[in-house]
Structure 1
């Protein structure tokens, strides 16, 4: 089996192939300016970050093959599906950064913050979304699972957009109500906004390539969604307590009145006086208000509560994974867990 470094290099090579195919689209045949814009936009937003979601398709496909020889064309298609997921990630992040008025992403300014970009980024996000189905049509139309693949991406795209909607409408001016922020609401946002696209989609892509039926793996899907909720809790924690130098992003959940795991947990464990302090300061951009919330989080020992939560979730997920039939499936899920447990970015 090729090393991780070689796999990442091959993955990047496939990105270059897909990018050139898109740049050669007839829409840009006589338009050098548009082609150059697309070239820069793709390079800025798609092959960035750790790329774990996309690489998980290849890893899952190999592990589920359980040591069997894989034809080169099948490996290439697995890489392509990995990039389709990275295109979806790029699309969601471009649009999410606009909606959240974020400043940095992956250690650099958000795409829309670049002087020449601004709100053109909205259309760029739509382009990224549409690219996914152009790539799928070109490389999978002759495959027996093409229709199932389209259904899968359509469903996950819809679920992600629904998660974003639920996340955003809770922060509307005039309708902000911190007491609505319950564990149930947080789980719902996390499942739709994060879990389907980050954990279920890569595994499901590998299953379809192997000719499997997704409905036969509902028990695995449940575990993957729990993993995704845990991943979002980590994101919420790192937004406040993480190191921006490591995460590449300056957190803003407090200022943005987000339904974060931290504020949900704070509401659970605070007394009436602490709850009033939270209600008075949460969702305000003034550094004094943000500082008051962070100080309360520390007084409530949310860092310690998070450490206990993380260990508890890891142990429960490990038990659930080891109860599954099939060592190959277990190997995939354990690999996913190893990448996220106690992550710092």
Structure 2
């Protein structure tokens, strides 16, 4: 809890810096006020797991106890990941037509926001590079930080493209395991799991080519597991706990659940899925959920989760930390943070 409070406290300092940058550019006060409202609304209420992962990974990688400057730098890098997350959630909510995020109306649903949220998300993303320049221009890995965020952006957008085009087609036969894997690795896993750890490795001077490669291999697999959890919670989770109402079924999303249902269903169930999956209305949603229940998708998920956790742990245990390999303790920390979550 203390680590979370310390991390959260850094946000006010960074927001004050961004406010000052806007003033220096001659922005009207109304612009500044509006943007600060956006910064606050889109970064509040989350678990902050991605940002805190940067900090915890950095502490584990530094050869000595962190100095005050290292403490501050790791927290700043963590908040840059949270800003990245905020920008893409704004875009994602708009594209999915979502109503709620973190227990409150999505940013674009706010009074007077609407489509201007597109530009708000662009500004959130631009703030990452403003703050990187301010705090890390003298760091030996500054260029690598910039390139990593650009790579994360491209991968996320590539995954989003595949996600939205698959949903738009509405064709159950297109929702294959291979397509699902591509979406999960790019849209979610890269920025949610590899980006935070790679930033910490770069900052701490622990980013050998072999170490980054090991980290990416494991963390992308962990990220796919995380996305499967998300898919399950969208349908079977409690909105009072998750903070959002599930939209995957009516949104015709390519999820782990529908991939399993497509492979396990008989001809009649497949016809029902084609008729109701992606259609608006609670009757269609209940029909799809009924098929999921008939197929025992919830039991299948429980068995999968137990098996997958064992596989991921074995993958970590098999790594060689010598010759610049990634520290197993960092990967174990990440895996432990998402095991059997309910939101």
Q: If the length of structure 1 is used for normalisation, what is the TM-score?
A: 0.95
Shift of 1:317: 0.4
C-alpha offsets along residues 185-208 of structure 1, whole Å, 9 cap, x if unaligned?
Answer: 000000000000010011101110
C-alpha RMSD of matched pairs (Å): 1.4
Matched residue, 2:179: 185
Question: Does residue 71 of the first structure (1) align with residue 67 of the second (2)?
Answer: yes
Runs of 4+ deviating beyond 6 Å: none
Is the partner of 2:327 in helix, strand or coil?
helix
Matched residue, 1:294: 289
Q: Within 2, Cα distance between the matches of 1:27 and 1:114? A: 28
Do the aligned residues in 1 keep the contact of 2:61 with 2:206 (CA within 8 Å)? Answer: no
Shift of 1:30: 5.2
Counterpart mapping for 1:176-255 below 5 A: 176-217=170-211, 218-255=213-250
Q: Within 2, Cα distance between the matches of 1:273 and 1:59? A: 50
With over 3 angstroms needed to count, the CA separation of the structure-2 counterparts of 1:6 and 1:118, relative to structure 1, is same
C-alpha offsets along residues 231-263 of structure 1, whole Å, 9 cap, x if unaligned?
Answer: 000101100000000100100101011001100
Most deviating of 12-21 and 225-234 = 12-21
Shift of 1:221: 1.2
Q: Within 1, Cα distance between the matches of 2:170 and 2:65? A: 55
Q: Within 2, Cα distance between the matches of 1:118 and 1:283? A: 24
Matched residue, 1:305: 300
Q: Within 1, Cα distance between the matches of 2:68 and 2:302? A: 43
Most deviating of 31-40 and 129-138 = 31-40
Matched residue, 2:30: 33
Counterpart mapping for 1:326-337 below 5 A: 326=321, 329-337=327-335
Question: Does residue 118 of the first structure (1) align with residue 114 of the second (2)?
Answer: yes
Give the alignment partner of residue 6 of structure 1, picking from 2, 8, 15. 2
Most deviating of 6-15 and 117-126 = 6-15
Matched residue, 1:42: 39
Q: Within 2, Cα distance between the matches of 1:325 and 1:264? A: 34
Most deviating of 287-296 and 333-342 = 333-342
Q: Within 2, Cα distance between the matches of 1:320 and 1:32? A: 53
Give the alignment partner of residue 129 of structure 1, picking from 118, 125, 128. 125
Q: Within 2, Cα distance between the matches of 1:167 and 1:305? A: 24
With over 3 angstroms needed to count, the CA separation of the structure-2 counterparts of 1:214 and 1:245, relative to structure 1, is farther
Q: Within 1, Cα distance between the matches of 2:208 and 2:30? A: 43
Is the partner of 1:124 in helix, strand or coil?
helix
Is the partner of 2:113 in helix, strand or coil?
coil
Do the aligned residues in 2 keep the contact of 1:92 with 1:125 (CA within 8 Å)? Answer: yes
Task: Report the count of equivalent residues.
Answer: 338
Q: Within 2, Cα distance between the matches of 1:139 and 1:113? A: 33
Matched residue, 2:262: 267
